Structure 1
Amino acid sequence: MKKLIKVNPADNVIVALTDLVQGDRVEFEGNTVILATDVKAKHKISEHDLNIGDSIFMYGVLVGKATQFIQKGEVLTTLNVRHQSEKVTHKTGTLPWTAPNISKWEDKTFMGYHREDGQVGTANVWLFFPLVFCENKNIEKLKEVFENELLPKKQDDYQMLLRSLMGNDEVEAPKPTDGRPELNNIEVKFITHAGGCGGIRQDSEVLAKLLAGYVNNPNVAGATVLSLGCQNLQIDIFKKVLKDINPNFNKEILIYEQQQMGTVDHMLRTIIKDSYSAILKANAIERKPAPLSKLVVGLECGGSDGFSGISANPALGVVSDIMVALGGKTILAEFPELCGVEQELMNRCVDEEKANKFLSLMKAFEKSVVDAGSGFDMNPSPGNIKDGLITDAMKSAGASKKGGAAPISDVLDYAEYASKPGLNLLNTPGNDAECTTGLVGSGATVVLFTTGLGTPMGNPIAPVVKISSNTHLAQKMSDIIDVDAGDVISGTKTIAEVGENIIDYIIEVASGRTTTKADLLQQDDFIPWKRGVSL
């Protein structure tokens, strides 16, 4: 196994692939590197002596400045390096792209749920949600009722553990299911949130777009929507946004307004009867073959480490480029983790309008962060830093590899729905749950989520596939990892091979033949991004 790697020939830092100690002599690219300090795997060492103020390059881009003299072979830390990125003002050119060979994938299909508007889902979900947080309690009651009756009963190991500790080993027998219709083609999911009123009107409008995006997502067969009546996010606002997203929308939507219906008992009884009838009809929809171009793939990372940008993220780049070449859609999110690579991304935009929109959204986002007393340079978490990502630009340069090299066909603000084939950039925060929530609201039917440290989360309506950057994580947290990209680090597989393995896995998940670990753990996270203040 190699001990060191340089990501780009233009870099002046080298990445340790294994733990090294001071004094170790490592042969690297025809030279002998003598370690000036101990260095843990995933961390970076300087290839040359660096003076104060010298630029530090990784992935071929500026990722930091030296704050003190750094000896050749010395480990880079937050004590001797600070965040620095290139200043960008406009699109300066157009980057060429050679599409990958897709002959292996052109005739492949997945078994999906075809909607009348031409979209194809990887799941078939009946979704319950409120327009305002005041209805969360009613959603939770409906969740209890439907899950108790519709979901398969099984004993909870943690509940059994507590019972044994309490000296009560009696187990409630499963309820009989004889005579009940089998709901094999439909899932019933529930989401709640803290928005819809009490904040600025713009937050309610964005929430309306997000919820409309969920209903329009082809993974959803239909929805039951609860409204109080007096909130900012009015029913007519939601309906208008839904029509704006899809003028030909024709799924069944059941909407109930509590202040018009009277008692909670009357409303819940009506909702249960109507929704059950609609769920039975949605259950009649069956999977049929669809080309891979009908997939919409969200690209995200969370709990990243120093190997994420070397193994898992570039493997997603392979997936993205193949999907784009097939005519599908991919969506790259997390704008704070694109800081430092703006010029490359602008030059990949198909036109100047898209490039300017991207830069405008980036600047507005960064200004809001600075106005709040912070900055993008504070994006790396303690876990990121501990595992080798010491500046935001360094983290971003690796994170952007998830988007491959294809041209950027569109740039979307949060809750805008993806309509153009190709690679789309979506303005979201780096927060894992807010990002995933946004990706699915913009139409992602499956989300690829890379992680180096392990992140336990999912989504109510779209499968979230977890890809580990290193084999140690895949083995340690096997209950949350679906695909191991650590073979790239060990040298047993190439980035292209791991990327193709991920596509094979996506096909199985999208066809319902494989269930992601997040879905097995029922990790249904839904957290909208709130950008305004509470009033």
Structure 2
Amino acid sequence: MTTSILKIHPADNVIVALNDLPAQASVTLGTETYLLPNGVAAKHKFVTEDRQPGDPVTMYGVTVGRATQPIRRGEVITTFNLKHQSDAYGIGNRHPYTYLAPDVSRWQSRTFMGYHRADGRVGTRNYWLVIPLVFCENRNVLTLKEAFERELGYAQPEQYRDQVRELLHLYQHGQMDVIKKMQPFVAREQMATVADDKPKRPFANVDGIKFLTHEMGCGGTRQDSAALCSLLAGYINNPNVAGATVLSLGCQHLQADMLEKEVKRQNPHGKKTILVYEQQAGTEYELLTQAIKDTFLELVEINKIERQPAPLSQLCVGLKCGGSDGFSGLSANPAIGHLSDVIGALGGRTVLAEFPELCGAEQNMIDRITDDAKAEKFINLMETYAAQAEAAGSGFDMNPSPGNIKDGLITDAIKSAGAAKKGGLAFVADVLDYAEPIRKPGLNLLCTPGNDVEATTGMAGSGANLILFTTGLGTPTGNPVCPVVKISTNTVLQRRMPDVIDFDSGPIIDGTQTVEQNGEALLDWLIGLASGTYLTKAEQLGQDDFIPWKRGVSL
């Protein structure tokens, strides 16, 4: 490692430890030398000057907290000596903002192989959806899932069923002693080498049939049903989706005609949908038999769609972080921020979600929104969300998880200032509420919770055809219709969880790559992923997470 400490912004009064620094160590940055009386663990921060109670602590050039007790020069900031504090924001506080787009000449002629849709967008996958309008149909959806996946080659490998079968055989033959001596886990090498090659399938151009379940559609508020309707319509209209089979009980709040109207409202070209009503079909057998036949006939049709070259401007990339650590804002987040700037300069679209994790970074975003109406929309969404959280006794300051805090993200403002780096430096093209379609090229801000699955669910519902997900602690999050790329902030994580992590930004921390080099290496890799040349680890593991946000308080 070329250096052991890093000061991120000239105005900062904290420094980040890039590796473990022992008690009484002396470290030097520029002309300043710091004595660390208690040592500093990697990813944590020490102050560069004495802080008294009430004094601000600054990181990334913004206020991230205020001291609650004296902190001496060289001492670590913790939850015991620092509390969350962020700067005021507003249109009236705007600062002049300039931006120089990166040179994208090397990418101008690059293409990926995608599925071209009637509305002009391009998918990175070709899926058929099976979705319920109401939770009453979840069992029927899962019954269809088992039937289609096993017979058409989309089921997950049966290695775990094989293990249970082996244990049952030993048990039935009185060999409990053998069971107790067996190694309990599959070898790490085996776990990390799930085959990228697609199994032999009758529908070679159909990447999968995706079966969604949820706990909504009836019994809650009409607003919840309307929000679910918009989200499901967004999934049907996602460029990675060719169409959907929709199961309806018949009497629920979310009626089929509501969904059909919303699908067409979002996308005048529409998508093929098959509607099956249980209360009209009569028996469950008749319902499922009709759904199976109609779905099979559609699979035959969408299998005729083949991948064709598409420019990188057809990429629509979600930007997300989860299981963050003290390196997130230094490595993986700014790397995908640079990637976002490159895609935007090429005419593509990116979307930054997680509004609770823009707490403290609001003014920077406002400075980058040149349209006053959009800036007001951003402020209103942030303030409404924050007020709801406060009213429930769960303000944004309560956002950092125990894992975040343990790995150096002491306040929400520290976490947010690093999380905002995923948005790069470009101007903001649009501000969207949950499940609003992404239409404008460039960087879009989408109101979602920080919750990993609620956020990725929302980005896919707004039209992302790829999602980049940075993590410092490791998380297996995936999505049914949108490949989710897991990017480690540090190489230790990538080596510990090879069956979860797709790409490593650790070389930024050890000094062997710049942020720009790492981000562009990721973009190179994404072209193959978008083309279907290989799968994400979440796809290989069948990690299809889908949780609609009910607009309650969720951080």
Provide closer, same or farther for how the CA distance between residues 219 and 94 of structure 1 changes in structure 2, counting only shifts above 3 A.
farther
On the 8 A contact 1:36/1:72 being kept in 2, the answer is no
Cα distance between partner residues in 1 of 2:375 and 2:140: 44
Residue of structure 2 equivalent to 1:49? 50
Residue of structure 2 equivalent to 1:253? 273
CA-atom RMSD in angstroms: 1.5
Shift, 1:49, TM fit: 0.8
Cα distance between partner residues in 2 of 1:110 and 1:382: 40
Shift, 1:156, TM fit: 2.1
SS of the residue aligned with 1:364?
helix
Shift, 1:76, TM fit: 0.5
Shift, 1:501, TM fit: 0.7
Structure 1 residue identity aligned to 2:472: G
Q: CA offsets, 1:109-142, max 9 Å, x none?
A: 0000000110000000011000111110110111
Picking from 460, 482, 503, the partner of 2:480 is 460
SS of the residue aligned with 1:104?
helix
| Residues 1:345 and 2:365 are matched in the alignment | yes
Aligned runs of 1:124-273 on 2, under 5 Å? Answer: 124-151=126-153, 156-167=158-169, 181-249=202-270, 251-273=271-293
Aligned runs of 1:10-89 on 2, under 5 Å? Answer: 10-89=11-90
| Residues 1:320 and 2:340 are matched in the alignment | yes
Residue of structure 2 equivalent to 1:370? 390
On the 8 A contact 1:134/1:228 being kept in 2, the answer is yes
SS of the residue aligned with 1:253?
strand
Shift, 1:162, TM fit: 2.0
Q: What is the aligned-residue identity percentage?
A: 57
Residue of structure 2 equivalent to 1:174? none
On the 8 A contact 1:23/1:35 being kept in 2, the answer is yes
Shift, 1:278, TM fit: 0.5
Provide closer, same or farther for how the CA distance between residues 448 and 286 of structure 1 changes in structure 2, counting only shifts above 3 A.
same
Shift, 1:153, TM fit: 6.8
Residue of structure 2 equivalent to 1:512? 532
Aligned runs of 1:443-522 on 2, under 5 Å? Answer: 443-522=463-542
Cα distance between partner residues in 2 of 1:373 and 1:382: 18
Does 472-481 or 26-35 show the bigger shift? Answer: 26-35
Cα distance between partner residues in 2 of 1:522 and 1:413: 29
Residue of structure 1 equivalent to 2:186? none
On the 8 A contact 2:90/2:366 being kept in 1, the answer is no
On the 8 A contact 1:186/1:282 being kept in 2, the answer is no
Q: CA offsets, 1:65-91, max 9 Å, x none?
A: 000000000010000000000112325
On the 8 A contact 1:120/1:218 being kept in 2, the answer is yes
Structure 2 residue identity aligned to 1:472: V
Q: CA offsets, 1:154-187, max 9 Å, x none?
A: 75222222222223599xxxxxxxx984434341
On the 8 A contact 1:334/1:426 being kept in 2, the answer is yes
Shift, 1:279, TM fit: 0.6
Shift, 1:203, TM fit: 1.0
Cα distance between partner residues in 2 of 1:413 and 1:73: 43
Cα distance between partner residues in 2 of 1:153 and 1:300: 28
Residue of structure 2 equivalent to 1:176? none
Residue of structure 1 equivalent to 2:407? 387
Picking from 118, 121, 131, the partner of 1:119 is 121
Aligned runs of 1:255-294 on 2, under 5 Å? Answer: 255-294=275-314
Does 183-192 or 277-286 show the bigger shift? Answer: 183-192
Picking from 458, 481, 506, the partner of 1:438 is 458
Q: What TM-score does the superposition give when structure 2 sets the normalisation length?
A: 0.92
Q: CA offsets, 1:323-376, max 9 Å, x none?
A: 000000000000000000111101101311111100100000011111111110
Provide closer, same or farther for how the CA distance between residues 180 and 17 of structure 1 changes in structure 2, counting only shifts above 3 A.
closer
SS of the residue aligned with 1:419?
coil
- Give the ranges of 4+ consecutive aligned residues of structure 1 lying more than 4 Å apart after TM superposition: 152-155
Picking from 104, 107, 114, the partner of 1:105 is 107
Structure 1: gaps of 5 or more residues: 171-178
Cα distance between partner residues in 1 of 2:486 and 2:154: 25
On the 8 A contact 1:185/1:286 being kept in 2, the answer is no
Shift, 1:152, TM fit: 5.6
Residue of structure 2 equivalent to 1:360? 380
Cα distance between partner residues in 1 of 2:279 and 2:377: 41
Cα distance between partner residues in 1 of 2:410 and 2:218: 39
Does 424-433 or 255-264 show the bigger shift? Answer: 255-264
Structure 1 residue identity aligned to 2:458: G
Provide closer, same or farther for how the CA distance between residues 153 and 326 of structure 1 changes in structure 2, counting only shifts above 3 A.
closer
SS of the residue aligned with 1:167?
helix
Cα distance between partner residues in 2 of 1:477 and 1:378: 28
SS of the residue aligned with 1:166?
helix
Structure 1 residue identity aligned to 2:298: A
Cα distance between partner residues in 2 of 1:231 and 1:373: 33
Structure 2 residue identity aligned to 1:523: Q
On the 8 A contact 1:186/1:279 being kept in 2, the answer is no
Q: CA offsets, 1:174-220, max 9 Å, x none?
A: xxxxx984434341111100111111111111111111001101100
On the 8 A contact 1:186/1:283 being kept in 2, the answer is no
Shift, 1:104, TM fit: 0.7
Cα distance between partner residues in 1 of 2:209 and 2:223: 30
Cα distance between partner residues in 2 of 1:204 and 1:2: 53
Structure 2: gaps of 5 or more residues: 173-199
Cα distance between partner residues in 2 of 1:274 and 1:169: 44
Structure 2 residue identity aligned to 1:229: G
Q: CA offsets, 1:381-417, max 9 Å, x none?
A: 0000000000000000000000001110100000111
Cα distance between partner residues in 2 of 1:429 and 1:324: 24
On the 8 A contact 1:329/1:421 being kept in 2, the answer is yes
Cα distance between partner residues in 2 of 1:64 and 1:99: 32
Does 15-24 or 179-188 show the bigger shift? Answer: 179-188
Provide closer, same or farther for how the CA distance between residues 380 and 153 of structure 1 changes in structure 2, counting only shifts above 3 A.
closer
Cα distance between partner residues in 2 of 1:322 and 1:464: 19
Q: CA offsets, 1:214-251, max 9 Å, x none?
A: 110110011100111111111111112111111222x3
Provide closer, same or farther for how the CA distance between residues 168 and 442 of structure 1 changes in structure 2, counting only shifts above 3 A.
same
Q: CA offsets, 1:260-296, max 9 Å, x none?
A: 2211111111111111000111011100000000000
Structure 1 residue identity aligned to 2:102: P
Q: How many residues align?
A: 524
On the 8 A contact 2:126/2:205 being kept in 1, the answer is no
